[in-house]
Structure 1
Amino acid sequence: MSQPREIAPGATYLITRRVLRRHLLFRPDAAITQLLVYSLAASTRRFGIEVHALCAMSSHLHLVVTDTKGVLPRFLQFFHRIVALGTKVLRTWEGPVWDHEATSVVRLLTRAAVVEKIAYVLANPVAAGLVRHAHEWPGAKVDVDELGCGALRATRPSAYFDPENPQWPEELTLPVALPPSIEQASAEGFRREVAAEIERLERQSHAELERQGLRFLGAERTSKVSPYERATSFEALRGRNPTFAVGRDQGAAWRVAAAAVRAFRASYRAALERWRAGVRSAAFPSGTWWMRTFHGAVVMDVVLTM
């Protein structure tokens, strides 16, 4: 059984989902970029999700978002579904698009965590040995100078989306919002922090490839690889899937967050035991989503935040 997760309005997350068996179905070409940006714009508008960072790798997708309304599971279900259906049409692909592993959802609890994870997302193509600098990635992405002030735009793809259906406009815009923990007055400083972290990650990746005697594949060659091939680089299976992140050297914040997670889970399990015993008045901790949404369970007003 998976661990219960607190779904709190206003929480910011790093979200990662992988393509089935690491197939390169999201190979960075114009058609898949259009599909991903349009699908994300439609989904975020529907569920009130704010996007802070995006990088679509050939075999997986990274997002940093804020769930303003506390409906993250609904958003992920809708977004992943329309991306999968559009990809199946676009790539003439039979069978599942997404990997069977659960989506990785990591709550970002500090400014340091937000900076580090956004930089991690944007520098991911460099870490993968595909391009030498993050801004060279040809796929769907947010650039560091767009954080909090840019926008991505896409016209409606011809694949999957019915032009007669009013929920699919001819064109959609995806604003790149500042994370709620960053004030507008400090936006430029925030972008500089992210840029500095990206540069650190790029230097680290350059040194690692040089150590291995490898070269970057390059944007042009990456865009021409077959989407039906699979990534062959080493990847550890069934590694740790953290619930939250606080950033490097944030020991005190980590201890506070870990205690809050334990308190939420203990409260949830106690309420679930009462519910299974037939006590329908059992109160679940604030942030309980599944039991409230699908069973109408009582949820406490007191917030057990991380």
Structure 2
Amino acid sequence: MSQPREVIPGATYMITRRVLRRHLLFRPDATITQLLVYALAVSARRYSIEVHALCAMSSHLHLVVTDTKGVLPRFLQFFHRIVALGTKVLRKWEGPVWDHEATSVVRLLTRAAVVEKTAYVLANPVAAGLVPHASEWPGAKVDVGELGRGVLHAARPSAYLDPDNPQWPKSVTLSLALPPVYEQAGAESFRCEVAAELGRLEAQIHAEARRQGLRFVGVKRVSAISPYERATSSEALRDRNPTFAVGRQQGRAWRIAAAAVRTFRTSYRAALERWRAGVRTAVFPAGTWWMCTFHSASVNDVVLTT
């Protein structure tokens, strides 16, 4: 049984979803980029999700978003479904698109975590040895200079989506929002801090590449590879699925967050045991989503601070 997860209005997350068996179905080209941006814009508007960063790798997708209304599971279900069905049509792909593992959803609790994970998302093509600099990645992405102020545009893909259905407009725009933790500091501060962290990551990756005598694949080869191939690079087994991040050297924040997660899970399990015993007055902790949405269970309106 998976662990219960809090869904809190206003929380910021890094989200990662992987393609089945690391197939390169999202290999960057105009049609797949159009689908991804369009689906993201429509889904974000539908569920009031604020998008901060995006990077579509050939075998997986990264997002940094804020869930303003506490409906993240609805957004993910809708967005991932549209991407999967559109990809199946565009790639003439039979069978599942997404990996069987659950989507990775990491709540970003501090400014440091938002900066580090945003830079991590942008640096992904460099870390994978594909391009020397994040700005060179040809797939769907957000550049540092666009953070908090850029606008993504996409016309409705001709594949899969019904042009006569009003939920699929002819074209959409997606304004990139500033993360809530930076509302006081401002967009320029956010961009500068992410740029510095991205520069640190790129320098670290370049140094390691030189040490090992490795070269970057380059845009031309990345764009020419078959989307039906699979990534062959080694990958560590994903034995952990973190639920939150606080950033480097944030020991006190980590301990507070970990204690809050333990408290939530303990309260949730206690309420669930009462519910299973037939006690329909059981009160679940704030952040409970599934039981509230599908069973109308009572939920405490006091949110645990993290």
| Shorter-chain TM-score tier | over 0.9
Q: Which residue of 1 aligns with 2:194?
A: 194
Map 1:286-305 to 2 at 5 A: 286-305=286-305
Partner of 1:228: 228
1:240/1:204 CA distance change after superposition, 3 Å:
same
In 2, Cα distance between the equivalents of 1:240 and 1:280? 34
Pairing of 1:141-160 with structure 2 (within 5 A)? 141-160=141-160
Q: Secondary structure at the match of 1:235?
A: coil
Specify the alignment match of 1:13 in structure 2. 13
**Is the partner of 1:274 in helix, strand or coil?**
helix
TM-score, reference length from structure 1:
0.99
**How much does 1:278 deviate?**
0.5
* Cα distance between partner residues in 2 of 1:36 and 1:11: 23
SS at match of 1:181: helix
Q: SS where residue 249 of structure 1 aligns? A: coil
More displaced stretch, 284-293 vs 186-195: 186-195
| Structure 2, gaps ≥5 residues long | none
RMSD: 0.8
**CA distance in structure 2 between the aligned counterparts of 1:186 and 1:40, rounded to whole angstroms:** 25
Tell whether 2:113 aligns with 1:113: yes
Using the alignment, how far apart are the partners of 1:280 and 1:288 within structure 2?
15
1:12-47 Cα shifts (integer Å, max 9, x gaps): 000000000000000010110000000000000000
CA distance in 1, matches of 2:206, 2:105: 28
Which residue does 1:248 correspond to in 2?
248
Separation in structure 2 between the aligned mates of residue 185 and residue 298 of structure 1, nearest angstrom: 37
Distance in 2, matches of 1:136 and 1:276, equals 53
CA distance in 2, matches of 1:215, 1:180: 38
**SS of aligned partner of 1:116:** helix
Q: How many Å separate the matches in 2 of 1:189 and 1:175?
A: 18
- Which amino acid in 2 is paired with 1:66? T
Structure 1 runs, 4 residues or longer, greater than 2 Å off: none
Distance apart, 1:185 and its partner CA? 5.2
Secondary structure of the equivalent of 1:107? strand
Q: Which region of structure 1 is more displaced relative to structure 2, 201-210 or 256-265?
A: 201-210
Counterpart-to-counterpart distance in 1, 2:256 and 2:240 = 20
Q: State the TM-score, normalized to the length of structure 2.
A: 0.99
In the aligned structure 1, how far is the partner of 2:176 from the partner of 2:184? 13
**Take 2:78 and 2:94, find their aligned partners in 1: how far apart are those partners?**
20
CA offset digits 1:159-209 (Å, max 9, x no partner)? 111101000000000111000110265211211110010000001111122
Alignment correspondent of 2:132: 132
Unaligned runs of 5+ in 1: none
Question: Size of the alignment, in residue pairs?
Answer: 306
In 2, the alpha carbon distance for the partners of 1:184 and 1:26 equals: 36
C-alpha distance in 1, partners of 2:92/2:134? 30
Q: CA deviation at 1:283?
A: 0.2
Q: CA separation in 1, counterparts of 2:162 and 2:210?
A: 48
Distance in 1 (alpha carbons) for counterparts of 2:92 and 2:173 = 27
Question: What are the Cα deviations for residues 120-158 of structure 1, in whole angstroms up to 9, with x where unaligned?
Answer: 000100000000000000000001011111110000001
**Percent identity between the aligned chains?**
81
Return 166-175 or 209-218, whichever deviates more.
209-218
Q: CA deviation at 1:75?
A: 0.4
3-state DSSP of counterpart to 1:172:
strand
Q: 1:238 offset after TM fit, Å?
A: 2.8
1:189 and 1:103 map into 2 onto residues whose CA distance is 30
Partner of 1:122: 122
SS of residue matched to 2:154? strand
